Amino acid sequence: MESYTDRALAQSPETNRLSPDEREFLRRDAFGLESTTADLIYALIAIRTGDWDERDTTDFGDHTVLGAGQRQLMQTALHSADTLLPRIEALRAWALHGLRTHHDASHAEIATMLGVARSTAQSRWNQIEKRRPDLWDWARGIEENSNVCDTESVGIIVEYADGDILIADRTITPWGAACPAGHAEGHGHPAPKPGVPDQPAHRAAAVGELVEEVGLRARPEDLELVAHGWRDNRCGRELRPGAPEGHWWNIYRTRLWTGDVQVAPDEVTNARRVTPEQLQELVKRTIDFAHGRITEAEFRARPGVEPVWVRWLRDAGYARVANPDLAAVEILAATPPATVTEA
């Protein structure tokens, strides 16, 4: 079914003035507004029908605790509201700025539009004049150059109650099965300070990659940092002059999330739960690749774990890897994707 966002974009020919990357950023951000609003609609229904007047002792949700489904919806609503509010503030500021700057709207006229006192309208304008909202640039679509590496990466491990985890096969280099991951910039927070662990931008990026790659939603406060450190792994982006080759990684784990798995096929495919035993087999296949026992073509046809993830899964307690094997995998992980060749 076509989303409201897709219909709105199709009916807005002015978006053709944007580059393909800018249109994709617009589509992503607009869909984020749509999906968070939908979450809040479900919350409104629950409130209006009295479902939140007391604890629900019948709905188990995705777990085995009475009231878990109700709790999940409340958590989702809280996260969606926190996500939506600063974006609404930015859009309101742009509207107010346009009315004052381009249409010479007086404080009295704006007060009438909003149904507030003139002093309130003037106060809101003065606040914008003194300091733009945090997401002012987000509304304009001003982001870091997505083709330049920020040397900051995040990953998020989704762990089920029985110890299984969620992985998916990457559809672009570097090949392999991995947990949701990506660069830390471009998720509504200022760029993180290099090398400083567990900043708000990292948590925002982790939950952003989770929903973008596999369609699951988690709250930043429900993430647990399980690993952090520098890795010499290269990505396909350009390096800033003088920047080191590699990334500072922040690896999180979540045991609380909502939604159903829906992959982004341009990034991943074959998303699935794996048991500890199945994960260990995938790690072994990567080790075989690192030692030259299988070719790149064989690895790509039936991938193991993405090389950079082998150490993180070991450090987080999900896999067993001997030090000589890890050293071989680390060399593989540090190889730029475009230059990986068959053994």
pLDDT in tens, 141-166: 765 555 678 889 999 999 999 999 99
Domains of the chain are 4-140 (no CATH), 152-339 (3.90.79.10)
103-112, 126-135, 189-198: which is most confident: 103-112
CB 94 within 8 A of CB 139: yes
Model confidence at 292: pLDDT above 90: yes
Question: How much is the average pLDDT of 294-323?
Answer: 96
Give the tens place of pLDDT for each residue, 244-284: 889 999 999 999 999 999 998 888 999 999 999 999 999 99
The amino acid occupying position 213 is E
Model confidence at 335: pLDDT above 90: no
Instruction: Pick the closest to residue 247 from 150, 332, 145 (CA basis).
Output: 150
Percentage of the chain lying above the pLDDT 90 cut? 52
> Across all residues in the chain, what is the average pLDDT?
88
What are the DSSP calls for 140-198, one per residue?
HT----TTB--SEEEEEEEB-TTS-EEEEEESSSSPSEE-SEEESSSSSSPPPPTT--S
| Cα–Cα distance list, 145 to 22, 92, 184, 237 (Å) | 11, 26, 13, 10
Kindly give the pairing relationship between strand 152-158 and strand 181-183. antiparallel
How far is it, in rounded angstroms, from Cα 285 to Cα 292?
11
Query: 131 or 294: which carries more pLDDT confidence?
Result: 294
What pLDDT score does 339 carry? 45
How far is it, in rounded angstroms, from Cα 186 to Cα 26?
12
Model confidence at 186: pLDDT above 50: yes
